[in-house]
């Protein structure tokens, strides 16, 4: 399987460590992994492509969408695994143009505001790293149309 891990970050975060750790095991199991993020601070055997995912300016978002659509088609990506709100937002748009599976992981509390309560950008399958995040998504962000899967951060 060809898996794209999509992150929006400009410095080292737990989401990056989580994604690199998942890639390690996915690569070991014979999958192909590609990480797309602003930066990548943790060494990984997965392929890495720098892209300004965190930059939410309209023109940059359009460029990222076009690049991601081309990347998914060229690399025959089977699954996009988004690790942030910005990455999830982009993955949802890309899926309009490329039929592709999508899962997101929520690593921490998300800002609660009108737009985050109106639309679920995280998709139908959402991984949360603790029960409190599942409650946060359901109760504060009103995400009720998704399957929440609890998968705690692993320790190697």
- Which pLDDT tens digit goes with each residue over 42-64? 999 999 999 999 998 999 999 99
DSSP letter at 112 equals -
Q: What is the mean pLDDT of each run of 10 residues along the chain (156 residues)?
A: 95 90 95 97 96 93 97 98 93 94 86 61 90 90 87 71
pLDDT at 120: 77
- Give pLDDT, residue 90: 95
* pLDDT at residue 144, as a whole number: 81
- Entry pTM: 0.90
pLDDT at 125 (0 to 100): 92
* Euclidean distance between CA atoms 57 and 103, whole angstroms: 24
What is the model's pLDDT at position 154? 64
Arithmetic mean of pLDDT over the chain: 90
- Helix residue ranges, H only, 51-121: 58-74, 85-97, 114-118
CA angle 68, 70, 72 (to 5 degrees): 65
Span 2-113 CATH architecture: 3-Layer(aba) Sandwich (3.40)
Write the burial class of residue 86 (CB in 10 Å: 0-12 exposed, 13-18 middle, 19+ buried).
buried
Sign of CA dihedral 65, 19, 29, 134: negative
């Amino acid at each position: 399987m060809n898996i794209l891990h999509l992150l929006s970050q400009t410095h080292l975060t737990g989401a990056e460590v989580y994604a690199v750790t998942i890639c390690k095991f996915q690569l070991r199991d014979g999958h192909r992994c590609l990480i797309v993020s602003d930066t990548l601070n943790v060494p990984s055997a997965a392929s890495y492509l720098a892209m300004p995912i965190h930059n939410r300016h309209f023109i940059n978002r359009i460029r990222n969408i076009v690049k991601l659509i081309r990347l998914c088609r060229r690399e025959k990506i089977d699954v996009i695994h988004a690790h942030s709100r910005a990455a999830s937002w982009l993955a949802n748009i890309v899926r309009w143009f490329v039929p592709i599976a999508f899962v997101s992981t929520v690593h921490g509390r998300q800002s609660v505001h009108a737009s985050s309560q109106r639309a679920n950008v995280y998709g139908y399958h959402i991984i949360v790293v603790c029960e409190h995040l599942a409650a946060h998504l359901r109760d504060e962000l009103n995400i009720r149309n998704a399957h929440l899967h609890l998968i705690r951060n692993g320790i190697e």
